[in-house]
Amino acid sequence: MLMTMLLVFILVLTAGTLWFHGLWSNGITLINLLLAMLLATNFYEPVATFAYDMSPAATYFWDFVSVWVLFFIFFGAFRGITDSLSKQQVKFILPVEMAGRTILALWCGWLLVCFTTFTLQMAPLNNPEPMGAWKGPTDRVFLGFAPDRMWLGFMQQESRGYLSRSNFSGVENPKDTQAQLNIEAFDPTSEFPFKFRYRRVKYSELEGMTP
Predicted pLDDT at 21: 93
What's the farthest any 2 CA atoms get from each other in the chain? 62
DSSP string of 170-181, one letter each residue: ----TT-TTGGG
Residue 164 has pLDDT above 90, yes or no: no
Say what the pTM is.
Answer: 0.83
Residue-wise pLDDT for 11-66, tens only, equals 999 999 999 999 999 999 999 999 999 999 988 988 988 888 888 777 778 989 99
Quick one: pLDDT band at residue 201, thresholds 50, 70, 90? confident
Predicted pLDDT at 39: 93
In this prediction, residues 167-185 reach a mean pLDDT of 56
The rounded distance, in Å, linking the Cα atoms of 133 and 141 is 6
Least confident interval from 70-74, 98-102, 171-175, 199-203? 171-175
List of residues 6+ apart from 44 with CB closer than 8 A: 63, 66, 67, 70
Residue 169 has pLDDT above 60, yes or no: no
> Domain locations in the chain?
2-204
Predicted pLDDT at 211: 43
Predicted pLDDT at 34: 95
Percentages helix, strand, coil for the chain (3-state, rounded to 5) are 65, 0, 35
- What does the mean pLDDT of the chain come to? 84
Quick one: pLDDT band at residue 135, thresholds 50, 70, 90? confident
Which amino acid does the sequence have at 185?
A
DSSP string of 7-57, one letter each residue: HHHHHHHHHHHHHTT-HHHHHHHHHHHHHHHHHHHHHHHHHHHHHHHH-GG
Rg of the chain over all Cα atoms, to the nearest angstrom:
19
Backbone angles phi, psi at 136, to 5 degrees: -130, 155
Residue 210 has pLDDT above 50, yes or no: no
List of residues 6+ apart from 89 with CB closer than 8 A: 22, 24, 25
Residue 190 has pLDDT above 90, yes or no: no
